[in-house]
Amino acid sequence: MDRAERERPPRAGKAGGGSLVKGLEAVRVDALDRASWLALRRRGIGGSDAAAVAGQSKWSSPYVVWAEKTGRLPEKPDTEAMRLGRDLEDYVARRFTEATGRRVRRLPLLLRNPRYPFALADIDRAVLGERAGLECKTSSAPDARPFRETAFPEQYRAQCLHYLAVTGWDRWYLAVLVFGKGFFVYRLERDEEELARLMETERRFWTDCVAAGKPPAPDGSEATGAALAALWPRSAEKRAPLGEYESALEEWARLRAQKRETEAKMAETENRLKAALGDAEKGEAGRFTVLWKTQTRKVAQGSITLSAAWTGAGEPYTQIVTVTGVTTTANSKVDLQPAAAQLAALQADGVTALVVQTNAGVLTASERGAAPSASTTVQCPVMEVEA
């Protein structure tokens, strides 16, 4: 994607919404296919990007958003959790109306405010009778206490602030369905100073990084690490000059030594505590409570089937897979890896690495290298550690 394409705003058109979107540019999205919709989203910062751009996201980062908006990274593959969130959006909106008495309306529009040409908003619902919107969320969190004990969940704050800025409305409601645990409604009032800070952060990011094609400084997040690995999946037999990073490497070496020393001291303290606890599972010292409980471990065998018809585009190739022979729970950790012999067979077929991960109960297989020439079933030892 060249600079002109990145800077070109979405084409405005006539769309429903009346006075709700007066003064805003709006593009109808209900008739767009997914590829066209994703192409539109790349032309600005969306609500789901706001927290990452502001450095407030656990799942993304400024570097990841930059790589996505400039076309360097492929769009994330659709997951079961993402599909579930979309399918339940209408249900969450109806629950909001049931809980508050406020009626809502879906606006199938991608909105842009001329005041913030870099910002886009594809909102879930408009609240009728108010200058307000509604964001619908679902969560598989095992504990609902964080949702009960907060005035507004911080992980969704930047997204709602972004929508307030783009629409110019007065407040934003948030409805969260925590599966099997509860339904929560929050309200965020417009705060001009907070909005100005976020919009200035987004403006600098878009102008200095996306439009200029210059990446932001990489942070230490897992998301940035994964993006870098995806951008350069293979090494080449050449050298890169790193002279300007000598002081950074010195600091890295110092921190690594400090980390080793800290981990050794922590391990020593933990072992002294274990010796003091003996067969007791709990101990107390001042403001501290120490637990040393026996964990139940279950070892099982599972299998996954990798299809030669990969759903992912580019590298790494990814596909959603089903693990047979294993049942996991929300409180289980899953350590699932193919046997060495089978991994060697895949490597002979051009696959250089195979990783199977679990996220919210969805298992994703990804490989680096050529797609396998034929469908293959991999037997995997599985260890469940009950929390």
pLDDT in tens, 351-364: 544 555 555 444 55
What is the C-alpha to C-alpha distance for residues 127 and 133, in angstroms, rounded to an integer? 5
Residue range 203-208: average pLDDT?
98
Residue range 169-194: average pLDDT?
96
What is the domain partition of the chain in residue ranges?
3-210, 297-386
- Residue 377 confidence (pLDDT): 64
Q: What are the tens digits of pLDDT across the range 308-354?
A: 655 555 555 555 555 555 554 444 444 445 444 555 555 555 554 45
Residue range 57-68: average pLDDT?
94
- Residue 12 confidence (pLDDT): 42
Please give the helix or strand (H or E) that residue 362 lies within, else none.
Answer: strand 362-369
Residue range 205-220: average pLDDT?
96
**pLDDT level of residue 7 (50, 70, 90 thresholds):** very low
Q: List the CATH code of the domain at 3-210.
A: 3.90.320.10
As given in the structure block, the two tokens for residue 296 are: 């139940």
Cis peptide before 381 (omega within 30 of 0): no
Closest by CA to 52, choosing from 227, 178, 192, is 227
Q: How much is the pTM?
A: 0.68
